[in-house]
Amino acid sequence: MLTNLPDAASARALAGALVEARLAACVNILGPCQSVYRWQGKIEDASEVPVLIKTTAERYAALETAIRAQHPYELPEIVAVPIKHGLPDYLAWVTTETTPLAP
């Protein structure tokens, strides 16, 4: 899954919250990028920080809810990319790290 945030501090805050809640096994915070887009009829040019969120399809709904609750944008980019293939041991680790702990 991927999203963009307005700065590194908000990206770190979201990443930490998602991993702590076991909604993501890992979040990569990438370097700043420049985004050009149309918003409410106007062309915008903004610096953003992309993040890549590693999770499972089973955790998507809860992850989307958490991102929407914590994201500073009115309409955050939330895009899920399906995994067609991957190193089995890595994918098993993602599943383990995103499985809620028993109470």
Provide the whole-model pTM. Answer: 0.93
Q: What is the pLDDT of residues 47-99, one digit of tens each?
A: 999 999 999 999 999 999 999 999 999 999 999 999 999 999 999 999 999 99
pLDDT band at 11 (very low <50, low <70, confident <90, very high): very high
Q: Which residue has the tokens 């700065």?
A: 7
Predicted local distance difference test score (pLDDT) of residue 95: 97
Predicted local distance difference test score (pLDDT) of residue 74: 95
Q: Which domains does the chain have, with CATH numbers?
A: 2-97 (3.30.70.120)
| pLDDT exceeds cutoff 90 at 102 | no
User: Got the DSSP string for 41-76?
Assistant: TEEEEEEEEEEEEE--GGGHHHHHHHHHHH-SSSS-
- For 89: left if phi > 0, alpha if psi spans -120 to 50, otherwise beta; the answer is alpha
What residue type is assigned to position 38 of the chain? R
Q: Is 12 helix (H, G, I), strand (E, B) or coil?
A: helix
Predicted local distance difference test score (pLDDT) of residue 103: 82
Alpha carbon dihedral 8, 9, 10, 14, in 10-degree steps, equals 100
Distance CA 33, CA 48 (A): 5
